Structures are given as structure tokens and as C-alpha cells.
Amino acid sequence: MTLAHVPAAAIDHYENFPVASVLCPPHLRAPISAIYHFARTADDIADEGDLTASQRLDLLDLYRHDLTAANSPTMATVSARWPGVFSTLHAAIHTHALPTQLLGDLLDAFVQDVQKTASQSGYEDHRELMDYCRRSANPVGRLLLHLYGITDSVALTQSDHICSALQRINFWQDLSIDIPRGRFYVPRSECARFGVSHGDLAALRQTENATQLIASCAHSARALMEKGIPLVHSLPGRAGWELRLVVQGGLRILDKIEALHFATLTQRPTLKWWDYPVMVWRALWM
């Protein structure tokens, strides 16, 4: 199959957290949706379907070319593969002066994902994993703060804490899905600390040591989230309420992981309809 014949199919996704919801300020829904669909489509290129690693990297190179084109005034050289993504992103970039370096950071993370999945090399320690989160998750929060006109360093750091925590929560929620696909996010240093071998993880063995390992990872994600929570009081009006629900969505997934006794090598916790009233109630008291 040549690159020209690789399909650009739409893929349905389960989402834990609201995206451009009714709580989002109406004038920002279009740029927020543009950012989301840019990131979601790139993630699909990196992760979905039966493409080879080489095909994924070639498509991500083409996607990066289209990002560069979208950053130009005319977007004359954009490809025809993802017109719905880059036409709206072009408008968002030029209407709201989006910092495109952050969008490039997202693509760097997706390229890294493809390379690490191909090699099944994983991450050495939490520092290396956090560096990945810095490029795979934190840019989204910083782009949203840019749209809200918030640029102070304290708010940016709090946003990074929340975004990295959400990314890590997603890792620990999805172990039973990611590992069979060759995606290993549990740091090797933590596996060694808890006596969990690569073979244990690859076989999805929910041993007592593996349970303690996942519990430690989940507790670390919760602590990171709590460091970012003060940001909800810095965002104005509806944006602040949107963020409260995003934070509570992440914390509720951690509750679900704990309720499963951290057995996410064999089960994937998800949010149900009855979790949303709990999240709203907790959001009211943040």
C-alpha cells in the first residue's frame, strides 16, 4: 500500500472529558474544536488502523507540512487529505494568533509514540515520561490559556500539572488496551522498584506487585492533579466551570481505578451516566 492509498478514515472515540461543551465560551468553541480535531487526527495517524510505523511517520511528516501551510497567510500548499482539519485550524491560528510551536510539540510527541511503539522500548523513569507529557498533553492546556488571555507563569505551571495528570490517568486507565498494542508507559525504574518484569506487563499479569505498582502510579497522578487545581479559580466564568468538570472527570477515573483495586491490567474503568452528577456536585465545592 502506498502512502497515497492509506485511508484517512474517521474514527469514533470514547472520551472521558468534555470538549468544546456548552460551558465553553461560545466565541471560543470554534478554535477549541479546531485544536482538538488537529490533535485527535494526528493521534489517529500515530495509533489507529493497520499502518506500518514507516507509513505513520510519513503521514505525520505530511501532516506537519500541512501545519506549516496552515500557519501561512494563504495556506496555498496544504494537501487535500485533511481539509476539514486545516481549514478550521488556519482560521484559528490567524484569528487568535495561536502559538504554532505548541502544535508542533504535539506532533513531536506523536512521532515519539510511533517510534517507541515500534521498538516497544517504553520509558526509563518518571522524568522521561513527564517529558513526553510536556509535549503530548501540556500544549493543549497552554493553547487554551492563550485563548482565554492568561499568560502568567503560575497559571501555565498549574495547567501543565493538570494536563500531565490527565495524560497519566489515561495511561493507567488504558493499560489493558495499550500494552497488547506495544505501548508501554509504566516507567522501567518503577517496574524494577516494585519487582514487576516486562514479561509480567506484556502478559497482563495482575500480580500483587503489579497492583502495588499501578496504585503508586495512580496516587502520583492524583497528587499531580491536586497541584494544578487552583487554576480553576483563575479562569473566568464558564471556562472555569469547564475546567472544574475536566478535573473532576480525571479524579473520578482515579476513583474507578481504586474501586477496581488497581486491576487495570485486566479491566478498563470508564465513566457511566451516574458518575456525571457526582462530578458536578464535586465541581460545585471546589
114 occurs within a structural domain? no
Report how far residue 35's alpha carbon sits from residue 28's, in angstroms, rounded to the nearest whole number: 11
Neighbouring CB atoms inside 10 A of 191's CB total 19
Q: What is the overall mean pLDDT for the chain?
A: 90
pLDDT at 78: 64
The domain boundary, picked from 68, 99, 130, lies at: 99
Cell of 120: 516497544
Residue 11 pLDDT grade (very low, low, confident, very high; cuts 50, 70, 90): very low
70 occurs within a structural domain? yes
**Same domain for 273 and 194?**
yes
pLDDT at 83: 83
Report how far residue 265's alpha carbon sits from residue 203's, in angstroms, rounded to the nearest whole number: 9
**Same domain for 280 and 165?**
yes
202 HSE (CA, 13 A, CB side): 9
**Same domain for 57 and 196?**
no
Between vectors from CA 12 to CA 167 and to CA 202, what angle results, nearest 5°?
50
* pLDDT tens per residue across span 108-129: 999 999 999 999 889 999 999 9
Cell of 25: 465560551
**Same domain for 236 and 200?**
yes
185 occurs within a structural domain? yes
Cell of 136: 503530548
**Same domain for 90 and 162?**
no
Residue 165 clears pLDDT 60, i.e. is over it: yes
Residue 262 clears pLDDT 50, i.e. is over it: yes
Cell of 64: 506537519
Report the phi/psi class of residue 118: left, alpha or beta, with left for phi > 0 and alpha for psi in -120 to 50. Answer: alpha
pLDDT at 201: 95
CATH code assigned at 205: 1.10.600.10
Q: Which domain holds residue 74?
A: 26-99
* pLDDT tens per residue across span 12-41: 444 444 444 556 778 888 999 999 999 999
pLDDT at 75: 74
Mean pLDDT of the region 196-223: 97
181 occurs within a structural domain? yes
pLDDT at 256: 98
pLDDT at 25: 76
Furthest-apart CA atoms within the chain: distance in Å: 58
Contact predicate 95/146, CB 8 Å: no
Amino acid occupying residue 162: I
Taking the model in full, what pTM does it have? 0.90
**Same domain for 209 and 281?**
yes
Q: Locate cell 464558564: which residue?
A: 238
* pLDDT tens per residue across span 56-103: 999 999 999 999 999 988 876 766 688 889 999 999 999 999 999 999
53 occurs within a structural domain? yes
Cell of 58: 510519513
Three-state SS sequence of 35-97: HHHHHHHHHHHHHCCCCCHHHHHHHHHHHHHHHHHHCCCCCCCCCCCCHHHHHHHHHHHHHHC
pLDDT at 101: 97
**Same domain for 31 and 63?**
yes
**Same domain for 175 and 131?**
yes
250 occurs within a structural domain? yes
Q: Pick the closest to residue 45 from 91, 75, 3 (CA basis).
A: 3
**Same domain for 93 and 167?**
no
pLDDT at 21: 58
Of the candidate ranges 3-12, 144-153, 154-163, 253-262, the one whose mean pLDDT is the lowest: 3-12
39 occurs within a structural domain? yes
The domain boundary, picked from 65, 99, 133, lies at: 99
Q: How many domains does the chain have?
A: 2
11 occurs within a structural domain? no
Residue 275 clears pLDDT 80, i.e. is over it: yes
Contact predicate 104/143, CB 8 Å: no
pLDDT at 22: 59
**Same domain for 79 and 208?**
no
Residue 6 clears pLDDT 70, i.e. is over it: no
Q: Locate cell 480525571: which residue?
A: 250
**Same domain for 144 and 58?**
no
**Same domain for 243 and 161?**
yes
Cell of 46: 500515530
